[in-house]
Amino acid sequence: MKKLMNSASDYVDEVLEGLVLAHPRLSLGGSARRVVHRAEGMRRGKVGIVSGGGSGHLPLFTGYVGSGMLDACSIGNVFEGPNIDSCIEAIKLADGGAGVLRLYGNYGGDRMNFDMAGEFLEGEIETTTVLGTDDIASAAPEESAKRRGVAGIIYAYKMAGAHAEEGGDLAAVTETARQAVAATKTIGLALSPCQVPGSAKPTFEIAADEFELGMGIHGEPGLWRSKMKPADEIVDEMIGRLLAERPAGHRGRVSVLVNSLGATPLEELLILYRRACAKLGEAGLEIVHPLVGPYATSMEMAGASISICFLDGTLERLLAAPSGSPFWEVK
């Protein structure tokens, strides 16, 4: 597979160098320059928010560092979690003296290294943890704590980031992140695989006339594989599965994210969004602050995910608050 790169070993470092050159409000830090943080530094007294994960998912994770969002983000190799040192360095760079929330996806390597980083800094920096668990295809509702974190985690970034910017304390910002995670449900589909730089073959195989529902952003197995269907039929099943997990008593407003996994063009995302609007309207739900585009990718994988964030008044207000990250700016 052709890739516009110099070498597989330099791929991530050169991506990060390009990112901060293109967005001067970001800086590279850490001993290995694997931490992206806000260039202006931390405001004293503000709760810090850090995230992290493997490369290959831009704009996730590093693209959401900025005012009203993340303060720092540690990044690993493609589809590999960040190492312990970069997690420690990210927490230190996000420390404004009011504690730091660690907000990242529910993956074993990320959990282990962020947990160890928090233990290393115990007594120096107070930290809390919230895991993204929005992928409904990865575990049953009664085992939701085992679910993967995918595109929907950006709602938690936005809402917790806004609360921290307003001056919320660590406990309150952490609770906002938990509420945002609990309110958000995601399901994805894959049409074709991607190939990690330096790998001899794609991450998985799928026939040209097939798609897989529920596949993860690293190629983790989904719910089932089928011959291609019309877009409306696919969206109907995705929305149906998401609405089956609508929080008890929720009536009213939602935000919807229709996300490209990398290669799927905006035109096709808009076809999906059109049908999602119709199905949610039939369910009596009003869409506010819709998001359509590449918000959490998987290299050049073709496919898409749909996330629904079931809003209450507080979450909706925080979603609408100003933010200044490179890939999600609200004025």
Q: Which residues are catalytic?
A: 57, 218
Which helix (H) or strand (E) element contains residue 129? strand 127-132
> Which strands make up the sheet holding 100-105, listed edge to edge?
26-29, 35-38, 72-78, 48-55, 100-105, 127-132
Q: Which one-letter amino acid corresponds to residue 106?
A: N
Residue type, 311: L
Q: Can you read off the two tokens belonging to residue 113? A: 């290294």
DSSP 69: S
Beta bridge partner(s), residue 104 = 131
The strand pairing partners of 124, in sequence order, are: none
Sign of CA dihedral 271, 277, 278, 280: positive
Residue appearing with tokens 């409306």 = 232
d(CA 234, CA 224) in angstroms, rounded, equals 12
